[in-house]
Structure 1
Amino acid sequence: MLRKFGRLFVIKNRFEAFLIIFALAMGAMDRGSHYLEAMPNWLGWTLFVACGGAVMLGGAKILDALHYERERKEAELEAC
């Protein structure tokens, strides 16, 4: 039963990855807009851009991990 519950938290395909990246981007941009309200100078804009950049880096890492996981599964199947 715990194994089935744990599978809910595994990203299985690119569609799920893009949904997660979209949700992260929405949260990051909301946080960035709060920074702009609190600090309307260059520091607020810097933190706003940093929030968006962090999502881009995280999204790229998620997509790379899916690619490497798929390659590993294919290599395991060839070895059998």
Structure 2
Amino acid sequence: MLTRIRRLFTIRTKFEAFAVIYALALGATDRGMHYVAHYPGAGGKLLFLACCAAVMMGGGKIIDAVEMQAQLGYLD
């Protein structure tokens, strides 16, 4: 039963990976806009860039992991 539930939260294809990255990017830009509103000037812009950079780094790792699983033949 737990394995069936776990399989719902597993990213298996690049399409799923891009969908997750897109959702992360939407959340990060929204959070960045809050930072810009609360911290006007260079500080808010730097925090906005930090949010976006975190998504880029995480997205690259997610895509690399999906490709590695495909190469190694993991079906789970």
Identity of paired residues, percent?
Answer: 49
Task: Give the greater-gyration-radius structure (CA).
Answer: 1
Q: Unaligned regions of 5+ residues in structure 2, if any?
A: none
Deviations along 1:10-59, one digit per CA (max 9) or x if unpaired, are: 00101110110000000000000000000111010000011001100100
Q: How many residues align?
A: 74
Greater relative contact order, per chain length (Cα 8 Å cut-off, separation 6+): 2
- Aligned-CA RMSD value: 1.0
Runs of 4+ off more than 6 Å: none
Q: Unaligned regions of 5+ residues in structure 1, if any?
A: 75-80
* Structure 1 residue 9, shift from structure 2 partner: 0.7
TM-score (norm 1): 0.89
TM-score (norm 2): 0.93
